[in-house]
Each structure stands twice: as C-alpha cells, then as structure tokens.
Chains A and B, each alone.
Chain A
C-alpha cells in the first residue's frame, strides 16, 4: 500500500516535471536590451572615481589660488645662516652682505 503510494507519488512528480519542461520560462521582456543595462551598470560602477575627481576639481583649484595668493603676499625672507642662504639660492644676497661688511 505504502509502496503503491510512493510509486504514485513518483509518477505524479514526473508528470509535473514533464509539464513544467514544456513551459519554458518567458524571458523575452528581460532579454530585450539586456546588454545595454548590464553595460550601464558596469559603467556606473566605475563612475564614482571620475565623478569624485570632477567634484573635487573646484576645491583643488580654490586651494591652488589661495596658496598662490598667500605665497605672493609675503616677501621672501633672507636667512642669516650662510649655508642656508647658499642652499636656498640667495647667494647674491650673502655675497653683497659680505662685500658691504654687514
């Protein structure tokens, strides 16, 4: 009795599988332009780097202008140490000081 029930269950299940195989899933709606959407997502995944760079560009520009303005607003300082003078490119000042005895 139990075996018969099991046999019947297998037969029924195989019928369901056979029927389900006859009805392949409809993918037409998703398939349409699918590659376009995949490529868009791939590009989207890369975009933050470019987008971030573009978003940061005005900040870098403002920072550059500020630094340029700051450096121009202060006159160059002549160090008293002769070695520092030589390495910082102010030899002429050192030579002049030496000649004038200052």
Chain B
C-alpha cells in the first residue's frame, strides 16, 4: 500500500508535468481500482475501459485534489463515479438479459455443496444486471466490497438514508430475481 505523503508528492510532480510521477501513481493504485471496477465490468475489455477512464479522469482533475484526505480515498470516489456512469449507460442494453442460469441451486459455503464461488458470482452478476444502477452500485459496495453504510455514502456522495433505502430495495429485488420471480 502506498504511503499517502509519497502519493501527495507524486501528485504534485504530475501536476508539474512529470509523466513518470503519474505513471508511478497508476502503478501503485491500479490493483485497487481494477478490483473495484471488476465488480461492475462484464468482461476484460470493459474492465480495461473502466480502469483507463478512471485514471484519465484522475489525470484531468488532478489539480482539484486538495490533499486533505489520502489520494486513495479520492481515487476510490472517482472509480465509483466512473463505474456508476457506465452502469447508467448500459442500463438499456441489459434489460433483456437471460435469467436461465438463476435456477442454479444455492450453496451453503460451510458445506461446500452447490455452485462454486465462480458460479455464484455469475448468478449474482446476472441478477444484479437487472437492478437499477443506483441499487446495483450500493449493493455491490455494501455486500461484495464489505463497506459500511457510511463509507458507501462517502464514496457515492449520497446520504446514509438514501444508501440504506437503496440497499434494502436492491436486496428485495435480488431475492425476487434469484428466487425466480422477475421484478418486472
């Protein structure tokens, strides 16, 4: 994990036109950004796009980084916003996604029976693709990235109440989808 002060130095150098400094920032934080974006990407090409878009936005807005919080926090907020924008853009494309795979049996992680972790991810991905972008964003950050309501609120810029409401609605919708009842 990068030392925040070093990040701030690199940011200053990058603002001054040092490309190597910015490349070092990308090298340090690419893992975090890509792991987070991978929760929203449908394939490696889309993950590449989300990752690149995030760092291009970081580069463009570098001067607005005030340094009062660690660079990583600022970067996470940008990542979340880039992914949210992507979810909203593709919302229309995914309306007709097949739900056949959702009939798979549910596993108990303690016994190891049922679908593998990969299959569970696939099933969740398909079900989550039918959620509203706001709901998908919140449930991903909340359940899959294990973040607190407060963290999700900070990352999205929404109120904690709104985050809780969205998380609740997303869970209800997912239960219906995975249980076999389509919400629409």
Contacts and interface: CB of A to CB of B under 8 A. Distances in A.
B109 A13 contact: no
| Majority DSSP secondary structure for residues of A touching B | helix
Given A15-B107, A16-B178, A42-B22, A21 B146 contact: yes
Contact of B109 (A9, A19, A27, A35): A19
A47 interface: no
Interface in B51-67: 51-52, 55-56, 59
Contacts, number: 103
Point out which of B23, B31, B44, B121 has the most chain A C-beta atoms below 10 A from its C-beta: B121
Interface in B23-42: 23, 26-27, 30-31, 34-35, 38-39, 41
Top 7 A-B pairs, shortest CB-CB distance: A25-B38, A19-B120, A23-B117, A9-B175, A35-B26, A27-B34, A22-B117
26 contacts: A6-B175, A12-B179, A13-B175, A15-B108, A16-B106, A17-B124, A17-B143, A19-B109, A21-B146, A22-B109, A22-B117, A23-B116, A25-B121, A27-B38, A27-B47, A31-B31, A34-B26, A34-B48, A35-B27, A36-B23, A37-B48, A39-B19, A39-B26, A42-B19, A42-B22, A42-B59
